[in-house]
């Protein structure tokens, strides 16, 4: 009897889940971080990243071109979406792997670098290196998420695609890095154009246009999958699934042959996509408010979704597209206007 009692006394007690959390209780070796603390840290990270980009990296230097600013703001918006989304989703996974801390940190650095890129042309090589790090992190994260899905029982199944590591989230971080690299390239290209070296602006515009189209098609797959998981219970859930790929096709057409008619069509579809990003954010917030307890139970309902941080990525990609069209308008076959 004493032997059984000593064995029972040595057995660690399971940790209980604290009230209001939307995840199972972590194991004994997991950090005890409350959801409210996580959201506060995420908000501070967004503010700190913005302040770093504005105050520390943007002093002096030449003011960037409009195309550069558009792409840089797109990168910052994508980075902000990734920071908020990855911090919360990795918290849902209890940060079981140390690598799960990397994405929010890199996203914060991407925001700071993107804002600095929008404000000054100095330190272009340093900025490109940081954006390259975001691309590498996003691609590695994508491989980890795909491995996570395939390693589960059932492999590549609907259930695993719905409820395991989302393959689109790391792609958004990589796309933020691409937008940042495109912003730096656009600034260099337009500076060389002013020095008399023709052709650089057009190549930069085509590169941004192709990556914008690729990002739109990838985002369509992610949105379609998650809205399908939600059974398209609201007809408005069809809007991005139908409109976003049309924007991607319009961007491909404008990139292949940048005539005014195609550029104008692409610009209108990009405006629609950006509007969907803004409206979608409001609709997702409304969806959270309809969960039991609404925002008064925010420590649980923000994690239950729909994710408020996801729709702004549509507006971020749209800004990339606007940057590409600005370059193509100025340096394409038949410029429609001559804005600086």
Say if 263 falls within a structural domain.
yes
Q: What per-residue confidence (pLDDT) applies to 62?
A: 67
Residue count of the chain: 340
- What are the φ and ψ backbone dihedral angles of 194, each rounded to 5 degrees? -65, -30
**Residue ranges, the chain, pLDDT below 50:** 1-24, 26, 332-340
- What 3 state SS string does 94-131 have? CCCCHHHHHHHHHHHHHHHHHHHHHHCCCCHHHHHHHH
Q: Which residue shows structure tokens 């691609």?
A: 139
Q: What per-residue confidence (pLDDT) applies to 52?
A: 63
- How far apart (Å, rounded) are the C-alpha atoms in residues 119 and 110? 14
Q: What per-residue confidence (pLDDT) applies to 340?
A: 40
What's the distance, CA 39 to chain centroid? 17
Radius of gyration of the chain from its Cα atoms, rounded to whole angstroms: 22
Q: What per-residue confidence (pLDDT) applies to 330?
A: 64
Q: What per-residue confidence (pLDDT) applies to 147?
A: 81
- How far apart (Å, rounded) are the C-alpha atoms in residues 107 and 89? 14
Q: What per-residue confidence (pLDDT) applies to 92?
A: 73
Taking only the tens place, the pLDDT of each residue in 20-76 is 444 445 455 555 556 566 666 666 666 666 666 666 555 556 678 888 999 999 999
Query: Is there a contact between 52 and 112 (Cβ–Cβ < 8 Å)?
Result: yes
Q: What per-residue confidence (pLDDT) applies to 209?
A: 92
Say if 16 falls within a structural domain.
no
CA dihedral sign, ordered 117, 260, 217, 246: positive
User: In terms of residue numbers, what domain contains 166?
Assistant: 41-53+60-331
Instruction: Please give the tally of structural domains in the chain.
Output: 1
Q: Which phi-psi region, left, alpha or beta, contains residue 11 (left: φ > 0; alpha: ψ -120 to 50)?
A: beta
Q: What per-residue confidence (pLDDT) applies to 225?
A: 86
Taking only the tens place, the pLDDT of each residue in 189-230 is 776 666 655 566 778 889 999 999 999 998 898 888 888 888
Q: What per-residue confidence (pLDDT) applies to 291?
A: 81
Say if 10 falls within a structural domain.
no
Say if 280 falls within a structural domain.
yes
Q: What per-residue confidence (pLDDT) applies to 46?
A: 63
Say if 7 falls within a structural domain.
no
Q: What per-residue confidence (pLDDT) applies to 171?
A: 86
Q: What per-residue confidence (pLDDT) applies to 333?
A: 47
Say if 3 falls within a structural domain.
no
Confidence (pTM): 0.78
Say if 338 falls within a structural domain.
no
Say if 339 falls within a structural domain.
no
Q: What per-residue confidence (pLDDT) applies to 15?
A: 45
Q: What per-residue confidence (pLDDT) applies to 14?
A: 44
The closest alpha carbon to 104, from 21, 168, 22, 170, belongs to 170
Query: Is there a contact between 317 and 294 (Cβ–Cβ < 8 Å)?
Result: no
């Amino acid at each position: 009897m004493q032997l059984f009692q000593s064995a029972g006394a040595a057995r660690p007690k399971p940790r209980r889940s604290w009230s209001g959390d939307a995840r199972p209780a972590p194991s004994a070796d997991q950090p005890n971080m409350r959801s409210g603390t996580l959201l506060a840290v995420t908000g501070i990270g967004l503010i700190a990243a913005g302040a770093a980009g504005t105050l520390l990296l943007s002093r002096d230097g030449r003011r960037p071109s409009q195309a550069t600013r558009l792409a840089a703001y797109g990168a910052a918006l994508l980075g902000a979406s990734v920071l908020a989304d990855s911090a919360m989703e990795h918290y849902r996974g209890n940060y079981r792997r140390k690598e799960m801390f990397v994405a929010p940190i890199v996203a914060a650095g991407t925001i700071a670098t993107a804002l600095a890129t929008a404000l000054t042309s100095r330190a272009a090589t340093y900025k490109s290196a940081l954006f390259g790090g975001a691309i590498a992190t996003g691609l590695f994260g994508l491989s980890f998420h795909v491995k996570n899905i395939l390693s589960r029982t059932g492999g590549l199944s609907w259930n695993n695609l719905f409820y395991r590591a989302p393959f689109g989230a790391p792609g958004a971080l990589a796309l933020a890095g691409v937008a940042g690299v495109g912003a730096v390239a656009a600034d260099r290209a337009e500076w060389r154009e002013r020095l008399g070296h023709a052709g650089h602006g057009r190549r930069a515009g085509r590169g941004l246009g192709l990556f914008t189209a690729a990002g739109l098609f990838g985002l369509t797959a992610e949105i379609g999958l998650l809205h399908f998981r939600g059974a398209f219970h609201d007809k408005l859930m069809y809007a991005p699934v139908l409109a976003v790929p049309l924007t991607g096709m319009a961007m491909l057409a404008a990139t292949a042959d940048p005539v005014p008619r195609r550029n104008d069509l692409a610009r209108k579809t990009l405006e629609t996509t950006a509007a969907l990003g803004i409206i979608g954010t409001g609709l997702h917030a409304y969806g959270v408010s309809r969960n039991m307890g609404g925002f008064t139970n925010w420590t649980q309902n923000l994690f239950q979704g729909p994710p408020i941080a996801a729709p702004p990525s549509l507006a971020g990609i749209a800004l990339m597209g606007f940057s590409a069209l600005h370059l193509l308008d100025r340096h394409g076959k038949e410029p429609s206007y001559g804005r600086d």
